[in-house]
Amino acid sequence: MNHLRSLNPEQRAAVLAPVGPVLVRAGAGSGKTRVLTLRIAHLISIGAKPSQILALTFTNKAAREMRERLRKQLGAGARGLVAGTFHAVCVRILREMIAGRVGTYTADFSIYAGDEQLQLAAAALDAATERPPMLLEPEEVLRRISRAKSRLLTPRLMARFSPDPVDRFVAGCYRRYQRALEQANALDFDDLILVTHRLLTEHHDLLETLQQRWQHILVDEYQDTDPSQHALIELLTRPAHGRPRSLFVVGDGMQSIYGFRNADHSIINRFADDFPDAKVIELDTNYRSRQPILDAAYAVIRHSRTVAPMALRAAGGGVAERCLLIHESKNGREEAEQIARSINELHAQGRRLREMAILYRTRHMSRTIEAALRHARIAYNVRGGVGFYDRAVVRDVLAYLRVIANPADNLSLVRIANVPARGLGGQAIAHLSAFAAQNEIALSAALAQPAAQQHLSPKAAEGARRLANLLARWQRMAAGTASPDHLIADVLEQSGYMAALENRVSPEDLPDARGHLQELMRAAEEHDSLSSMLQEIALLTSADEKEDERDQVQLLTIHAAKGLEWPFVFVTGLEEGTLPHERSIATLEGIEEERRLCYVALTRAAERLYLSWTPGRNRGQILKPSRFLDEILAYGRERVG
Ligand SMILES: Nc1ncnc2c1ncn2[C@@H]1O[C@H](COP(=O)(O)OP(=O)(O)OP(=O)(O)O)[C@@H](O)[C@H]1O
Ligand SMILES: [Mg+2]
């Protein structure tokens, strides 16, 4: 492999390490992802079939990039390799293996996220018979359920072993929430991991099948795995048939930023304890950033109390001037205008817009920046804005499709029951739902039952019959040869949705809404089956969206910037209350995570890092510069003085 020559000795040692548990632990930009990709090429060169390799990444985008790189290196030799997110891989496993083994689930289960989860959590909370020990919002209930799931706790274990009385109360909600999910033949995101884990611990034959299928597992961004993901990896890589555990993980404890999603950054530190024969390799040369940028990152992370900070050495010499610029503005608008000016300067010097990124702590901060960029006529792309699939009309059509694919999906049916209006108002739906619950059938099945229609108004009964007939028609189409885009066209036409679109959206949004529906059909053309289309959409996360090749400045949250790099990076909002975020300031754990987040932000830059702050971001309040900014300045003074 001639690309091995371009590696430094530690990187090469990692790529060529004997098969076994290997951890590459190293700071930002030290080539971890690159080493992981080359490790795959190495495994193939020593006889592994691509189809025996499973690469787990954090976003679909990262997975796509990995497949691209391997295609370049290995050509057709990379075919069959599975690279995907934990969730995507678990969906594949579950579609293949869940039916008949976990409750009443079938292979066509829906995946519930966001709103749908919240609705079920709210219903589970409402149905509680005991009084909660404190005022609880559905969001908080959901957070606690999610946390329990990430630790592989069932409702029973949560009720029995939680030291916290609130958690013991939530365990009851968790049980009801889970029952509602199963009735809808639906899983939430955490279930994808949890249920897969349960399936594989309870069915040894299935575990063996998968261990046979994937003999080598690699994980990027390992610091952001949660305990359930870790347990799943441990299970899948258990030594079997005399083969050693082939597990190759790369990560950086300093970049652990998904604590709010239950990631546990101590997992990476325990690797050598969990796998006593592990080989641990550290890399210390940074190939991405110039030294002053790395010094700024170190100035922040060296104060961490939870990770042992490592200083980073820049490989490249070259100019190290004007790598770090700090700017104070009067308010957020002026900060944004200053950024626009800097971008125009760089652009005038011949740099491309896509070499620049603007990072911010919270999503809403993009609004002011967007206004300034529009005003300065600078092309930009907001990653993770209101996603295409979050738009109301798109979600309506998807709800139709989900009921067609999974007739038990009650929430989706409720969404579209009266869209367009067909006499099935709130009361009719409540009545039908009660009937469905009593008879233990799905809401979609209740629609067609004469006994259920008896107590409806004639108009509602007629609406229910019509909808039931339509659903049956579409289910036949989906089971037959109709392609997903044909099916969507038929749904829009026959349901009357298209004709009634004017009632659904305001006149000025109408052209956009039509455009979105067309776009959805285009997306559908790329799939041969309804279920493959729905699956891909369910797994899109805000961090990944389609790559856009146009020359545009990239706008994104720091969280979404993980693993990426640009020559010029603007990190905005270095104020107390913004970064660190005010919500996190009160606790040590909170500040620690903000510190790591800041480290991630700073280490995205290769050539030049622009830091900005303003005391006047929030009206009626004067903000102080971020402690992280103070630390960067203090470190600079220390080194000069
Ligand atoms: N030995 C090397 N020689 C030249 N360039 C390298 C070498 N190793 C890595 N690089 C380059 O350095 C940059 C950072 O590499 P990579 O993205 O793999 O780092 P990373 O450790 O995964 O970073 P992060 O922690 O941000 O995910 C990339 O542009 C990569 O191509
Ligand atoms: Mg990486």
Residue 29 CA to ligand 2 centre (angstroms): 7
Ligand nearest to the CA of 283: 1
Q: Does ipTM surpass 0.95 in this model? A: yes
- The catalytically annotated residue of 11, 33, 237, 554 is 33
Q: Residue 115: its pLDDT value, please?
A: 84
Residue 219 has pLDDT above 90, yes or no: yes
Across all residues in the chain, what is the average pLDDT?
A: 91
pLDDT tens digits, one per residue of 11-44: 999 999 999 999 999 999 999 999 999 999 999 9
Alpha carbon distances (Å) from 43 to 4, 23, 81, 240, 581: 13, 16, 12, 18, 43
Q: Which of 221, 264, 337, 409 is catalytic?
A: 221
pLDDT band at 197 (very low <50, low <70, confident <90, very high): very high
**In the predicted model, what is the mean pLDDT of residues 107-131?**
91
The number of angstroms, rounded, from the C-alpha of 561 to the middle of its chain's C-alpha atoms is 12
With a cut of 60, say whether residue 584 has pLDDT above it: yes
- Sequence length of the chain is 641
State which of 287, 293, 602 you would mutate to test the pocket of ligand 1, scoring each by most atoms of that ligand within 8 A of its C-beta: 287
pLDDT of residue 387: 59
Asked whether the predicted pLDDT for residue 112 surpasses 60, the reply is: yes
pLDDT in tens, 349-390: 999 999 999 999 998 888 899 989 999 999 998 876 555 677
Written as six digits, the tokens of 393 are 């009309």
* pLDDT reported for residue 64: 81
Q: What residues flank ligand 1, with Cβ below 6 Å?
A: 6-8, 11, 26, 28-34, 252, 255, 287-288, 563, 565
Residue 159 CB neighbours (<10 A) = 18
**Is the backbone of residue 357 left (phi > 0), alpha (psi -120 to 50) or beta?**
beta
Does residue 338 carry a catalytic annotation?
A: no
Average the pLDDT over 461-467 and give the result: 95
155 pLDDT above the threshold of 90: yes
Q: Is the pLDDT of residue 543 over 50?
A: no
Res 15: pLDDT: 97
What whole-number distance in Å separates Cα of residue 596 and Cα of residue 107? 40
Q: Which ligand is nearest to the CA of 312?
A: 1
Options 3.40.718.10, 1.10.486.10, 3.40.190.80, 3.40.50.620; which CATH number does 389-539 get?
A: 1.10.486.10
CATH topology (fold) of 3-93+194-283: Rossmann fold (3.40.50)
Residue 427 pLDDT: 92
Q: How confident is the model at residue 422 (pLDDT cuts 50, 70, 90)?
A: very high
What pLDDT, in 10s, does the model give residues 280-337?
A: 999 989 999 999 999 999 999 999 988 777 788 898 766 678 899 999 999 999 999 9
Q: Lowest mean pLDDT: which of 156-165, 190-199, 211-220, 383-392?
A: 383-392
| Residue positions forming the annotated binding site for ATP | 26-33
DSSP per-residue letters across 368-424:
HHHHHHHHTT--EEETTSS-GGGSHHHHHHHHHHHHHH-TT-HHHHHHHTTSS-SS-
The pLDDT confidence band at residue 203, using thresholds 50, 70 and 90, is very high
Alpha carbons 522 and 524: distance in angstroms, whole number: 5
DSSP summary character for residue 255: G
Tokens 């706008």 identify what position?
Answer: 555
Question: Any idea what the Cα angle at residue 24 is, between residues 18 and 30, rounded to 5°?
Answer: 125
Q: For position 262, what pLDDT does the model report?
A: 82
Give yes or no: 33 in active site. Answer: yes
Alpha-carbon gap, residue 215 to 47, rounded angstroms: 12
Ranges of each domain in the chain:
3-93+194-283, 111-184, 291-385+547-640, 389-539
Atom of ligand 1 nearest to the CA of 7: 1
**Which residues are CB-neighbours of 289 under 8 A, at least 6 positions away?**
28, 29, 297, 312, 314, 603, 605, 606, 609
**Burial bucket for residue 205 (CB in 10 Å: 0-12, 13-18, 19+):** exposed
Pairwise CA distance, residues 637 & 641, whole Å: 6
CATH number of the structural domain 111-184:
1.10.10.160
Is 291-385+547-640 a domain of CATH 2.60.40.10?
no
- Which of 305-319, 404-418, 493-507 is the least confident region? 305-319
CB neighbour burial string for 309-320, b if at least 16 within 10 angstroms, e if fewer: bbebebeeeeee
Using the 8-state DSSP alphabet, how is residue 305 labeled? S
Apex 191 CA angle, 187 and 195, nearest 5? 105
Q: How far is the CA of 252 from the centre of ligand 1 (A)?
A: 13
Residue 270: φ, ψ to 5°: -90, 0
Q: What distance in Å separates the CA atoms of residue 70 and residue 81, rounded to the nearest whole number?
A: 9
Interval between CA 30 and ligand 1 midpoint (Å): 5
SS3 category, 22:
strand
Helix or strand holding residue 279 (H, E): strand 279-283
Of the candidates 181, 188, 187, the one whose C-alpha atom is nearest the C-alpha of residue 123 is 181
The H or E element that residue 204 is part of is helix 204-213
Answer yes or no: are the C-beta atoms of 419 and 409 closer than 8 Å: no
Q: What is the pLDDT of residue 247?
A: 97
Phi, psi of 23 (to 5 degrees): -115, 125
Name the residue with the closest Cα to ligand 1, atom 16: 31
- Which tokens in the block code for residue 402? 């989900």
Distance in angstroms (rounded) separating the CA atoms of residues 366 and 364? 5
pLDDT of 478-496, one tens digit each?
999 899 999 999 999 999 9
Asked if the domains 3-93+194-283 and 291-385+547-640 are classified in one and the same CATH topology, the answer is yes
Q: Are 70 and 33 in contact (CB under 8 A)?
A: no
pTM beyond 0.95: no
Question: What pLDDT does 567 receive?
Answer: 97
Average of pLDDT values for 130-148?
A: 91
For the residues 547-570, what does the mean pLDDT come to? 89
State which amino acid sits at residue 224.
D
The answer to whether residue 32 is catalytic is yes
Q: What is the pLDDT of residue 542?
A: 47
Greater confidence (466 vs 316) lies with 466
pLDDT at 435 over 60: yes
Mean pLDDT value of segment 407-426: 93
Q: Say yes or no to pLDDT of 586 above 90.
A: yes
Q: Centre a 10 Å sphere on the Cβ of residue 586 and count the other Cβ atoms it contains.
A: 9
221 is catalytic: yes
Contacts of 367 (CB under 8 A, 6+ apart): none
Using pLDDT thresholds of 50, 70 and 90, give the confidence band for residue 549.
low
Identify the burial level of 367 via C-beta atoms within 10 angstroms of its C-beta, where 0-12 means exposed, 13-18 middle and 19 or more buried: exposed
Residue 523 has pLDDT above 90, yes or no: no
Sign of the torsion formed by the C-alpha atoms of 145, 147, 150 and 154: negative
Burial profile 177-192: b = 16 or more Cβ within 10 angstroms, e = fewer: bbebbbbbbbbbbbbb
- Alpha carbon separation from 521 to 1, 187, 484 (Å, rounded): 44, 26, 8
Ligand (nearest to CA of 254): 1
Q: What is the pLDDT of residue 209?
A: 96
Point out the catalytic residue in the list 65, 116, 220, 631.
220
**pLDDT tens per residue across span 597-618:** 999 999 999 999 999 999 999 8
